Amino acid sequence: MEPTPADDEPQAAAVPGTVPPLVERYLEHVRVEKRLAARTVELYRLDLVRLTEAALAAGVALPEVQNHHIRRWVAQMHSGGRSARGIALILSGWRGFYRWLGREALVAANPVQDVRAPRAARLLPKALGVDEAVQLASHHQAPDDPWLEARDAAMVELLYGCGLRVGELVGLDVKASVGAERGGRGWIDLQAAEVHVLGKGGKRRSVPLGGAARLALARWLAVRGAPGAEGTSSEAAALFPGRHGTRLTAQSVWQRLRRRSQLAGLATPVHPHMLRHSFASHLLQSSGDLRAVQELLGHASITSTQIYTRLDFQHLARAYDAAHPRAKIRGGGSGGQGEPGG
């Protein structure tokens, strides 16, 4: 089937916001044959208006668009500040349009087929400053229930002092057992000053227990007892049970930690993974040993751990800005007093 002249001319979209008859035919196709919702069809239209205007500016008809055109337009959208997700959605709309043109025998190849949106920037994990983390870990809520206070203080020490994931924390038993081994649970060993956890991918690892964590755990175990109702053997062995004797859930830990961070006076509500990030960032700042941090976190790949080197650089940059006598000097033309680097 050959396109009509009106279909094939880029001048057909000279009016901003309009599309040529060829695009209208495609939109009718997705509306009727695919039975897409009106809002979805309108979003397709907006994407194809963008394509039509780009083709018009390049002086090419839509069926003549090539792969290099698409790549150039993607680069322009990216440099213009459009998000990676937004570009991916636009490309999806364009790809569907050219797939339809191929079925109609109007193009020989899909120029969008192998074009991908730029990768979204990986957000840095949120970590507390050292002072904030110590403030939270040192917090003692005197009027609180002593049982809850001892339990929550021990949980904070394990999350920040050992870098555990919340799932690893709630999966801990009081001690090693055959049931823990077979049930895929971890445990603590105060005598050896270690916590044994079952991490992602079913991989076990051992993490040292620092002095503060050992002290907090000893205080907790002294009051833990057998709380509330009877549970299963797994629940009875849980290091951190709730008041009814059942193993604490991850959601409960989130809620307790959020409450505790607010009571400690922190400006930002804290969640468990933030303490894991803080553990990694502060350890890297102190030791500089990326491989050791990888092992303690249980990362299968060093790539996952390297994100914390960016946090460490941010820390160094802030320290420089705050302390270095040259940090506050701003360049202002050719008459600067800067010295050559060496």
165 annotated active-site: yes
Catalytic choice (26, 44, 151, 165): 165
Burial level of 183, CB count in 10 A (0-12/13-18/19+)?
Answer: middle
Catalytic choice (34, 85, 116, 200): 200
Catalytic choice (26, 98, 160, 308): 308
CB-side neighbour CA atoms (13 Å) of 127: 26
196 annotated active-site: no
Q: Is 342 helix (H, G, I), strand (E, B) or coil?
A: coil
Beta-sheet strand order (sheet of 194-198): 172-173, 186-189, 194-198, 204-208
Q: How far apart are the first and last CA of the chain?
A: 69
Catalytic choice (99, 205, 219, 273): 273
- Angle value at C-alpha 17, between 15 and 21, nearest 5 degrees: 75
Measure the CA–CA gap between 256 and 264, rounded to whole angstroms. Answer: 12
Find residue 195's DSSP bridge partners. 188, 207
Catalytic choice (256, 276, 277, 282): 276
273 annotated active-site: yes
Bridge-based pairing state of the strands 194-198 and 186-189:
antiparallel
Contact 41, 96 (CB under 8 A): no
Catalytic choice (29, 31, 139, 299): 299
271 annotated active-site: no
247 annotated active-site: no
Q: Which residues are catalytic?
A: 165, 200, 273, 276, 299, 308
